[in-house]
């Protein structure tokens, strides 16, 4: 059944701009910001103290809550005091909506009271069409106008594919799941296998696979009690923990007894798609869709202005959430997707406050395209406050013609390749990120791979205020002939890394956390404005932690090249022999 329900709601307007409470002569406001995100800079220098406050655009019943988060940078005073009108707010930023309609504010102020940011909040009356599991969501959407709100009741909504209209909103109750998978029954035993017939689904193939995952390009997956099995390429290569789809015979085989277990296979190619603008998707679990690589379970390539927030997006074959222009991807848990968590292209978009973990679950080759995220052809992309970890590929990756990109306040840990990578692109800022233990699947084709931060053949990139600990490499740059793109020739030019802390204390070896640049010509080092300044290094026993002009070098030689002349270097153990500052020839 469907019915219409009503409740007061808290709404953070998508057009919210930065507000400042400080002396007017010393304030720089940055806008626009993501929904509910307000930033001020109380300093003549826009790189100095900042308060960032964010939540998500949300509809709440009376007495319901919404968590706000504040981040303070550029000052030792990290604590904030919360105040609010129209409701109550706890010391941890949890806002409880009151009963009275109107326009109100939530404010975060630093402990000494000199810097604050304020977010507008509106409590109004909202309405929604309620949809129970088993009903055709698309048919109900088609019967309602643009701007309608839908409340999806708790339970599993199977095999649903939705094409919204402009400004429609989809809200899940706690426990609401959109599943692209069907349950398989009627298993027949045949020797050491069990099979089920009548499987006619077969999506198109895309992608390049790692050898141990030969069928990653096929979009169908199989789950037993919510655990994914490995798709093998023949019956002869089967065994426990694997499954095989004989597309010609329309049969699915498993080697584990399915009796008493819930066995599902992904069928539907997307949860949300279309070209509608201004759509909001919140508080849903989106799982087990058969979207091919480079497509999203939440898709809509050409749909501007979507807000995707507070969802769990998991176990989908390709990308969990796809990007587009003016898209806001906020506070989602995006994990165990087959190719990557979040990806695609889009101008003026925000990826803020998400946990992005264990993606590339079906074994795509990261050098083809896989990992935590990958963004392309974007202008004005902000990637802020995310936790990207244990992905099969880079944690956060921009690749091909991205310009005016900001990576800030992210944490990237234990990814198989780089923590943050900006490749064949243009102007970018990489600041105030924490990168630990990235580069776990080595060796790599290039020594620069697996770095905490990798800037590859990209111009006008600033890297500052980051903390790197025990990554396969440190901060690395690569300059090679990659042709040209939308904004000019791809080149490592005007790359500046400063005020970073790099800890690399592992012993002798290629993965000892080296920092530096590799280039095909001497111009990379002498005429392109590439520079390291004022960085702090905590080093171990390896004698040469820096790479420059096709060689490995110690601290003295590194400074002799004009790099980190004002930098700080410490060793956790005594240097080896008398060659601590010697240059060592290298072809790597």
Q: Which tokens belong to 197?
A: 């017939």
| Region 316-342 average pLDDT | 98
Domain extents for the chain?
2-125, 282-585
CA 10 to chain centre: 27
Per-residue pLDDT band for 21 (boundaries 50, 70, 90) equals very low
**484 in Cβ contact with 511 (< 8 Å):** no
Confidence at residue 256, expressed as pLDDT on a 0 to 100 scale: 98
| 421-434 b/e (C-beta count within 10 Å ≥ 16 → b) | bbbbbbbbbbbbbb
Q: Each residue of 353-362: pLDDT tens digit?
A: 999 999 999 9
pLDDT surpassing 80 at residue 96: yes
**270 in Cβ contact with 259 (< 8 Å):** no
Give the sign of the dihedral formed by CA 89, CA 74, CA 432, CA 30. positive
Per-residue pLDDT band for 41 (boundaries 50, 70, 90) equals very low
Q: Determine what percent of the chain is predicted with pLDDT higher than 70.
A: 82
Plot region of 112 (φ>0 → left; ψ -120 to 50 → alpha; else → beta)? alpha
What residues contact residue 516 under an 8 Å CB cut-off, 6+ apart?
476, 477, 546, 547, 548, 553, 558
pLDDT surpassing 60 at residue 309: yes
Q: How far does the chain reach from its first CA to its final CA, in angstroms?
A: 66
Which residue from 367, 400, 377 is spatially nearest to 490, judged by alpha carbons?
400
**175 in Cβ contact with 154 (< 8 Å):** yes
Q: Report the DSSP pairing between strands 382-384 and 405-408.
A: parallel
Give the sign of the dihedral formed by CA 186, CA 188, CA 192, CA 198. negative
Confidence at residue 516, expressed as pLDDT on a 0 to 100 scale: 96
What is the spatial distance between Cα 15 and Cα 382, in angstroms, rounded to a whole number?
Answer: 16
**575 in Cβ contact with 582 (< 8 Å):** no
Cross-strand partners of 436: 413, 469
Confidence at residue 393, expressed as pLDDT on a 0 to 100 scale: 97
pLDDT surpassing 90 at residue 99: no
Per-residue pLDDT band for 45 (boundaries 50, 70, 90) equals very low
What residues contact residue 236 under an 8 Å CB cut-off, 6+ apart?
none
CA distances from 243 to 195, 288, 315, 493 (A): 10, 16, 16, 49
What is the spatial distance between Cα 49 and Cα 272, in angstroms, rounded to a whole number?
Answer: 40
Per-residue pLDDT band for 71 (boundaries 50, 70, 90) equals low
What is the spatial distance between Cα 325 and Cα 333, in angstroms, rounded to a whole number?
Answer: 21
What is the spatial distance between Cα 43 and Cα 49, in angstroms, rounded to a whole number?
Answer: 7
CA 276 to chain centre: 24
Confidence at residue 224, expressed as pLDDT on a 0 to 100 scale: 99
Confidence at residue 73, expressed as pLDDT on a 0 to 100 scale: 53
**474 in Cβ contact with 514 (< 8 Å):** yes
Confidence at residue 18, expressed as pLDDT on a 0 to 100 scale: 30
What is the spatial distance between Cα 545 and Cα 71, in angstroms, rounded to a whole number?
Answer: 33
Higher-pLDDT residue of 557, 50:
557
Instruction: Say which range, 146-150, 520-524, 538-542, has the weakest mean pLDDT.
Output: 538-542
Q: Which tokens belong to 388?
A: 């990207």
Per-residue pLDDT band for 50 (boundaries 50, 70, 90) equals low
| Region 133-153 average pLDDT | 97
| Token pair 């964010």: residue | 54
Per-residue pLDDT band for 439 (boundaries 50, 70, 90) equals very high
| Region 444-464 average pLDDT | 91
| 221-253 b/e (C-beta count within 10 Å ≥ 16 → b) | bbbbeeebbbbbeebeebeeebbbbeeeeebbb
What residues contact residue 506 under an 8 Å CB cut-off, 6+ apart?
470, 512, 513, 540, 542
Half-sphere exposure of 138 (CA within 13 A, CB side): 11
**375 in Cβ contact with 347 (< 8 Å):** no
| Region 554-572 average pLDDT | 95
Q: Each residue of 384-410: pLDDT tens digit?
A: 999 999 999 999 999 999 999 999 999
Higher-pLDDT residue of 438, 106:
438
What is the spatial distance between Cα 391 and Cα 389, in angstroms, rounded to a whole number?
Answer: 6
Per-residue pLDDT band for 236 (boundaries 50, 70, 90) equals very high
**547 in Cβ contact with 517 (< 8 Å):** yes
What is the spatial distance between Cα 583 and Cα 588, in angstroms, rounded to a whole number?
Answer: 14
Plot region of 339 (φ>0 → left; ψ -120 to 50 → alpha; else → beta)? alpha
Write a three-state SS string for 90-110.
CCCCEEEECCCCEEEEEEEEE
Per-residue pLDDT band for 101 (boundaries 50, 70, 90) equals confident
Which residue from 564, 172, 320 is spatially nearest to 555, judged by alpha carbons?
564
Q: What is the mean pLDDT of the chain?
A: 86
Q: Each residue of 251-283: pLDDT tens digit?
A: 999 999 999 999 999 999 999 999 999 999 999
What is the spatial distance between Cα 407 and Cα 172, in angstroms, rounded to a whole number?
Answer: 30
Class of domain 282-585: mainly beta
pLDDT surpassing 90 at residue 63: no
pLDDT surpassing 60 at residue 425: yes
Q: Where are the alpha helices (DSSP H) in 60-135?
A: none
Q: Which tokens belong to 171?
A: 């809200």
pLDDT surpassing 70 at residue 20: no
Q: Which tokens belong to 212?
A: 């141990």
pLDDT surpassing 90 at residue 458: yes
What is the pTM (predicted TM-score) of this model?
A: 0.84
Q: Which tokens belong to 192?
A: 């050491």
Hey, how many other C-beta atoms are within 10 angstroms of the C-beta on 475?
28
Specify burial of residue 189 (Cβ count, 10 A radius: 0-12, 13-18, 19+).
exposed
Confidence at residue 121, expressed as pLDDT on a 0 to 100 scale: 76
Confidence at residue 161, expressed as pLDDT on a 0 to 100 scale: 99
């Amino acid at each position: 059944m469907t019915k219409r329900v009503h409740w007061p709601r808290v709404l953070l307007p998508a057009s919210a701009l930065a507000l400042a409470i400080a002396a007017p002569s010393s304030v720089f406001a940055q806008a626009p910001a993501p929904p509910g995100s307000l930033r001020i800079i109380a300093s003549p220098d826009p790189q100095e103290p900042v308060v960032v406050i964010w939540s998500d655009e949300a509809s709440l019943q009376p007495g319901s809550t919404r968590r706000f988060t504040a981040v303070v940078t550029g000052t030792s005073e990290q604590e904030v005091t919360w105040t609010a009108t129209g409701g109550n707010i706890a010391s941890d930023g949890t806002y409880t909506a009151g009963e009275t309609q109107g326009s109100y504010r939530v404010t975060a102020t630093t402990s000494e009271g000199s810097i604050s940011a304020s977010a507008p909040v509106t409590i109004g009356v909202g309405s929604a069409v309620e949809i129970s599991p088993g009903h055709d969501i698309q048919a109900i959407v088609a019967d309602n106008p643009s701007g309608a709100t839908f409340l999806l009741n708790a339970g599993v909504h199977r095999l649903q594919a939705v094409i919204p209209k402009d400004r429609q909103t989809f809200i899940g109750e706690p426990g609401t799941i959109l599943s692209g998978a069907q349950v398989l029954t009627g298993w027949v035993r045949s020797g050491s296998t069990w099979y089920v017939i009548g499987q006619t689904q077969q999506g198109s193939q895309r992608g390049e696979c790692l050898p141990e995952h030969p069928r990653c390009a096929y979009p169908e997956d199989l789950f037993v009690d919510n655990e994914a099995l490995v798709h093998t390429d023949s019956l002869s290569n089967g065994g426990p923990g694997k499954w095989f789809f004989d597309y010609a015979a329309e049969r699915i085989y498993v080697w584990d007894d399915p009796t008493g277990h819930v066995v599902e296979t992904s069928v539907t190619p997307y949860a949300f798609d279309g070209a509608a603008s201004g759509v909001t998707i919140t508080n849903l679990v989106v799982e087990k869709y058969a979207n091919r690589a480079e497509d999203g379970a939440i898709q809509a390539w050409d749909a501007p202005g979507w807000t995707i927030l507070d969802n769990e997006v998991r176990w989908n074959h390709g990308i969990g959430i796809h990007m587009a222009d003016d898209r806001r991807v906020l506070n989602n848990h995006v994990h165990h997707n087959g190719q990557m968590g979040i990806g695609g292209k889009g101008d003026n978009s925000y990826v803020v406050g998400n946990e992005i973990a264990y993606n590339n679950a079906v074994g795509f080759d990261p050098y083809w395209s896989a990992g935590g995220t990958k963004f392309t052809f974007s202008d004005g992309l902000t990637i802020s406050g995310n936790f990207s970890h244990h992905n099969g590929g880079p944690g956060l990756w921009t690749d091909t013609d991205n310009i005016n990109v900001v990576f800030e306040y992210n944490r990237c840990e234990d990814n198989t390749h780089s923590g943050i990578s900006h490749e064949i692109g243009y102007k970018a800022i990489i600041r105030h990120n924490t990168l630990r233990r990235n580069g776990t699947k080595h060796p790599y084709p290039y020594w620069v791979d697996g770095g905490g931060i990798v800037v590859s053949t990209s111009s006008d990139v600033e890297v500052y205020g980051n903390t790197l600990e025990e990554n396969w490499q440190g901060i690395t740059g690569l300059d090679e002939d990659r042709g040209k793109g939308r904004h000019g020739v791809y080149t490592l030019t005007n790359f500046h890394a400063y005020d970073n802390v790099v800890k690399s204390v592992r012993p002798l070896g290629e993965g000892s956390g080296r920092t530096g640049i590799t280039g095909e010509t001497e111009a990379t080092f002498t005429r392109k404005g590439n520079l390291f300044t004022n960085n702090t290094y905590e080093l171990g026993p390896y004698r040469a932690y820096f790479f420059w002009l096709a060689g490995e070098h110690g601290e003295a030689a590194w400074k002799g090249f004009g790099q980190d002349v004002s930098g700080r270097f410490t060793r956790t153990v005594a240097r080896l022999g008398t060659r601590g500052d010697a240059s060592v020839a290298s072809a790597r």
